[in-house]
Amino acid sequence: MLKRLFRQFHVVVLSIFAIVISLTVVFVFKNFTRTLEQAEFVLTLRQQVAPDVINSKVWAKVITRLEMKGSTTTLTVMDPFE
């Protein structure tokens, strides 16, 4: 009887091990394929949305010129009806 129980124990342990391994493989496969799909989607969007690379030096010049343009002194106009 003990020998029979021991055989069944091995079968149960091996079955649980096989189930855990198969679930791990499915989980990894799903996440790997999802990651690849998202990477392809990002590459497609990058080509559609921003095909040009921005030059950071030119961008900095534009920003500083806009800041200089916005920082002009305000003109005070006297009220003629006072």
Predicted local confidence at residue 69, as pLDDT: 77
Q: pLDDT tens digit string along 12-52?
A: 889 999 999 999 999 999 999 898 888 888 888 877 776 67
Residue 76 included in any domain: no
Residue 46 included in any domain: yes
Residue 7 included in any domain: yes
Residue 47 included in any domain: yes
Predicted local confidence at residue 72, as pLDDT: 60
CA atoms within 13 A on the CB side of 47: 5
The domain in which residue 35 lies consists of 2-52
Residue 64 included in any domain: no
Residue 18 included in any domain: yes
Side chain identity at residue 68, one-letter code: M
pTM metric for this prediction? 0.44
Give the total number of structural domains in the chain: 1
pLDDT at 65 over 90: no
Residue 38 included in any domain: yes
Region of poorest pLDDT, from 1-5, 16-20, 54-58, 70-74: 70-74
Residue 6 included in any domain: yes
| Mean pLDDT estimate for the chain | 83
Distance CA 47, CA 40 (A): 11
